[in-house]
């Protein structure tokens, strides 16, 4: 009976050790899979971020070009207006100079 009890205990311990090994192997596999899933997730996130950055850069460049074009147009309009006023004043000044020369 003692021998049977020892055999039962040893068999139980062996079975428990086998279960521990199975659990250990499954845990290792689960950890490896989690690492792989995590790396894939990071790669997908980085790829999405790269695409989003490129889109934002294109949008920013387009807006900058629009602003530069608008500024150039505005500056050209102001320059034309200033030139027109200057030419008008030059005509007035030339006429006054002419009048002074004649009246001298």
pLDDT in tens, the chain (104 residues): 788 888 889 999 999 999 999 999 999 999 999 999 999 999 999 999 999 999 999 999 999 999 999 999 999 999 999 999 999 999 888 888 888 888 86
Q: Domain count of the chain?
A: 1
- pTM, full prediction: 0.54
Helix, strand, or coil (residue 104)? coil
Q: How far apart are CA 76 and CA 67, in angstroms?
A: 14
Residue 93 lies in a domain: no
Residue 42 lies in a domain: yes
Give the structural domain span for 56.
1-79
Residue 52 lies in a domain: yes
């Amino acid at each position: 009976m003692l021998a049977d009890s020892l055999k039962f205990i040893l068999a139980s311990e062996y079975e428990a050790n086998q279960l521990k090994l199975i659990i250990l192997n499954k845990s290792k596999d689960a950890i490896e899979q989690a690492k792989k899933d995590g790396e894939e997730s990071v790669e997908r996130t980085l790829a999405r971020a790269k695409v989003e950055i490129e889109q934002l850069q294109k949008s920013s460049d387009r807006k900058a070009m629009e602003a530069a074009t608008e500024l150039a147009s505005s500056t050209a309009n102001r320059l034309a207006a200033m030139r027109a006023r200057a030419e008008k004043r030059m005509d007035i000044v030339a006429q006054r100079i002419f009048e002074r020369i004649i009246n001298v």
